[in-house]
Amino acid sequence: MCATGCFVKDHCKGMTSSFIRADLANLYIGGSNERSNNEIAATICELLDQTRPLAGGDSYKKLITFVNDRAGA
């Protein structure tokens, strides 16, 4: 077995193949590790809370604001 990144070439081949034959409305490559935007934002906030805490002990999550969807989205 090789070190980290040993499947990069396979991933790149898959991405290239997908772009060449793509119906871009579909998902072609996944790692069964999907996350929503909200989950990613929360994880980033948690990491920042640990590494660069805000003054007063507040969480970065308090800075997240939700907006209406853009037209056409």
* Spatial separation of the C-alpha atoms in residues 47 and 25, rounded to whole Å: 32
* Spatial separation of the C-alpha atoms in residues 48 and 68, rounded to whole Å: 26
Which residue has better confidence, 2 or 17? 17
* Spatial separation of the C-alpha atoms in residues 8 and 13, rounded to whole Å: 9
Residue 70 maps to a domain: no
Residue 44 maps to a domain: yes
- In terms of Cα–Cα distance, which of 59, 61, 58 is closest to 38? 61
Residue 73 maps to a domain: no
Residue 29 maps to a domain: yes
The total domain count for the chain is 1
The pLDDT-based confidence of 1 (bands split at 50, 70, 90) is very low
Residue 56 maps to a domain: yes
pTM, 2 dp = 0.54
* Spatial separation of the C-alpha atoms in residues 33 and 31, rounded to whole Å: 5
Average pLDDT over residues 7-27: 73
pLDDT, tens digit, 9 for 90 and up, residues 18-68? 777 766 666 556 677 778 889 999 999 999 999 999 999 999 999 999 988
Containing domain of residue 47, as a range? 8-63
